[in-house]
Amino acid sequence: MKRSLSESRRSAWQQPASCEFCRSKKIRCDKERPCSNCMTRQLECRYVSEDANPITESEREDYSAGYLSLRRHVQELQSRVQKLESLASCQPGSALNIAQHRPEKRIPTVGRQEDISHTWKNLEEFAATPQPEPAAKPLISLAPNCAGPTVANSTEASSLIAAQLPHVRLARLLFKHYVQTADSLHKEIHIPSTQAFLETTYAQLSASLPVSTETLVLFCSIFASSSFYVCHKHSHQVHRELKDAQELHPVWKRIALESVMSHDAAASLTLTSLQSISIMMYLTWDTEGQSTTFHTLRSLAHTKAIQMKLHRLDADTATDVVQAELKRRLWWHLAATDWLIASVPGPQEGIYSFHTKHMCVRYPANLDDEDIRPDGLYTEGLPADQLTQMSYFLQRLKFAELCRDVMDGLPSGEASLPYDQVLRMSSRYTDFMDRLPWFFCADEKSTAQAAVLASRRPYLLRQKSVLLYGIYSRIGRLHRPFLLRGTDEKESLSVSHSLAIQCAERMIEIRRMVEPGDLCLHVHSHSMDQHSFSALLLLSMGILGEKDTELVQKRKANLLPICSMLKAKQGSLSRVGHGISAAIDRLVEILERPNLAHDWPGAHLDGPSIQDVATLWEELIKELPSPSDIPWDDFLDWQGP
């Protein structure tokens, strides 16, 4: 019971320690008698305790007795809590197992399933959170009115950038490698015209002729992207000069980023400037994930494209066929990226900016770049079942539209989705996968036939793996909440359980595919690593929902090397503190703990139910007194789930 005491009869340890003057002025008091503040101001130093009525010995004994009574009450409650824990922990599958090796104690609640679901979701979101890159000193001055050179209109700035470009032989190697890696997924350039542009630019540089800064920034972006995608694993098969170019990647990336984000470059409405921003945007996505820089570049590209009226491109007849086709690619790739980003964990999940009713832009043609000529003879494109350099681009666009439609059907906030609606959405993904062109299909027959095509188009396997990764990842995430249900519901939810696990296993299989030549299928791709982590989450959840048997231990052991591989890959990028690395550490801790099945509702039917334990806990809580100044969490040493 609390004592009701007047202000003048407060206990000694509740009396203010500072003097009246320091308290009134809210200044620090040294608590001397007199204090230094009063001495300096030649004031009388008075303390409240001097005026308060002294506490009698009997009152002091009453206070001590009350405190001791409270301590005994707390100790009794602690003893009851320990008995409750012991009772629960002696049952197999108990939700209150407090083994010595596991210091974390969890409060069982009726909403335990929702808590676990949030835990896994938070872990996935943490993996999607990028670690900010350390600020670097600018290589060139970007302010338009400063004393140094600006990027867009200064000959000195152009000279600074040109001095960092590689020699022409290495430039050709980097351009060829870019075509086989980044461009095969993004298509920001028209290969024949850009290659001719490269030769012209280097001819002008060798003749000491002026070259526009935007042109130099475009090639700097291409070189930065190409050098990043040189695979370490196949370094023995890569040209030595190309391998050495990796050391210059940070320099080219910084120059390109500083340039495209400058005031003058942001205001430019040329196609070249939009290409440069787009290239750097996807390079940043693969190197940093959904970082602030990535979303800034994405916003700049979106704004620039609208100012260039790309969203109304086909409202009028185009005069330059090549440029019109390139603009369609840039616009639709920005739109597809917007929808795909909205359907994965990250700050933009659940929201997008591109709306089809606001645009009048045709799909790009299914043609190789060599077939897109100024005369415009083949603007209609080839059928979807004929492989071209644009096949992956168009399928990615259709998949992004499907992700947008599925996302529009999801409830806002934390509302749960009816299970029949989950099955309908899942079937839309599987139907899309079944309708893919044969060279992108996952069955063995199609894979064998696609391997023949890959000998002529080695980037095909990379395109296929990226596309299938995205599909499997979203199907798995859609069914993931139903992995958290107990065994009493597993029969009715067996479709979700099997689909989620199969998707995760297929993603791991794709990860282990043989890589052709010097083209690594998943080289340094943050989005692919994020999908891989999602697969690990699904497999971990499936394992932790089972009894701790020898088979389960073996399955856990098979996951640990994959975790190590993924973390080592992140470490090779010098970003050990990245969200994925930290999330993997947390996941490994969970996997290495024995007898984890007790954390799952309904995981064992022979132990006390979560509802029973929760009821006992709630009854115990009702008996706790609740004085505002008693930190019960500290006394009971509980930690939330």
* Mean pLDDT score, 239-253: 87
Residue 528 banded pLDDT, cuts 50, 70, 90: confident
Judge whether residue 590 has pLDDT over 50: yes
Rounded to a whole number of angstroms, the CA Rg of the chain reads: 32
Six-digit token pair at 140?
A: 């060139």
CB 215 within 8 A of CB 158: no
Six-digit token pair at 297?
A: 């570049």
Residue 376 banded pLDDT, cuts 50, 70, 90: low
126-130, 206-210, 307-311, 439-443: least confident range: 126-130
5-14, 280-289, 606-615: least confident range: 606-615
CA dist 107 and 360 (Å) reads 56
* Mean pLDDT score, 476-493: 69
Buried b (16+ CB within 10 A) or exposed e, 604-633: beebbbbeebbebbeeeeeeeeeeeeeeee
Peptide bond between residue 347 and the one before it cis (omega within 30 degrees of 0)? no
* Mean pLDDT score, 83-96: 49
**Average pLDDT value for the chain:** 76
CA dist 533 and 127 (Å) reads 8
CB 375 within 8 A of CB 436: no
| Tokens 């391997």 found at | 451
Specify the pLDDT at position 11. Answer: 46
Highest mean pLDDT among 25-34, 304-313, 542-551, 566-575: 304-313
Judge whether residue 223 has pLDDT over 70: yes
Six-digit token pair at 108?
A: 């069982």
Read off the pLDDT of residues 437-461 as tens digits, 9 standing for 90 and up. 999 998 888 888 888 888 889 889 8
Judge whether residue 2 has pLDDT over 80: no
Among 316, 311, 355, residue whose Cα is nearest residue 330: 311
81-95, 306-320, 411-425: least confident range: 81-95
Judge whether residue 130 has pLDDT over 70: no
CATH code: domain 6-55 is 4.10.240.10
Highest mean pLDDT among 6-15, 328-337, 364-373: 328-337
Judge whether residue 87 has pLDDT over 80: no
212-221, 256-265, 620-629: least confident range: 620-629
State the DSSP code for 235: G
Peptide bond between residue 130 and the one before it cis (omega within 30 degrees of 0)? no
Among 511, 519, 527, residue whose Cα is nearest residue 465: 511
Q: What is the DSSP string of 180-209?
A: HTHHHHH--S-HHHHHHHHHHHHHHHHTT-
* Mean pLDDT score, 425-444: 94
Specify the pLDDT at position 245. Answer: 87
Specify the pLDDT at position 518. Answer: 45
Judge whether residue 353 has pLDDT over 60: yes
Burial class (CB in 10 A: 0-12, 13-18, 19+), 132: exposed
* Mean pLDDT score, 427-436: 96
> How far apart, in Å, are the Cα atoms of 499 and each of 87, 235, 506?
37, 37, 10
- The CA-CA-CA angle for residues 326, 331, 334, to 5°, reads 125
Higher pLDDT, 45 or 191: 191
CB count in 10 Å sphere of residue 438: 14
Contacts of 19 (CB under 8 A, 6+ apart): 29, 31, 34, 35, 37, 38, 45, 46, 47
Buried b (16+ CB within 10 A) or exposed e, 22-51: beeeeeebeeeebbebbeeeeeebebbeee
* Mean pLDDT score, 621-638: 37
Specify the pLDDT at position 98. Answer: 34
Residue 313 banded pLDDT, cuts 50, 70, 90: very high
Specify the pLDDT at position 190. Answer: 96
Residue 551 banded pLDDT, cuts 50, 70, 90: confident
CA dist 273 and 451 (Å) reads 37
Read off the pLDDT of residues 178-191 as tens digits, 9 standing for 90 and up. 999 999 999 999 99
Provide the CA 635 distance to its chain's centre, in angstroms.
Answer: 37
Judge whether residue 623 has pLDDT over 60: no
Secondary structure (3-state) at 439: helix
Residue 123 banded pLDDT, cuts 50, 70, 90: low
Residue 283 banded pLDDT, cuts 50, 70, 90: very high
State the DSSP code for 312: G
Whole-number percent of the chain with pLDDT over 70: 66
Specify the pLDDT at position 282. Answer: 95
Among 204, 203, 246, 201, residue whose Cα is nearest residue 219: 201
CB 327 within 8 A of CB 273: no
State the DSSP code for 7: G
CB 355 within 8 A of CB 366: no
Among 381, 526, 375, 514, residue whose Cα is nearest residue 454: 514
* Mean pLDDT score, 373-379: 71
Higher pLDDT, 616 or 140: 140
The stretches of 573-637 forming alpha helices (DSSP H) are 579-592, 610-622, 632-636
CA dist 330 and 271 (Å) reads 10
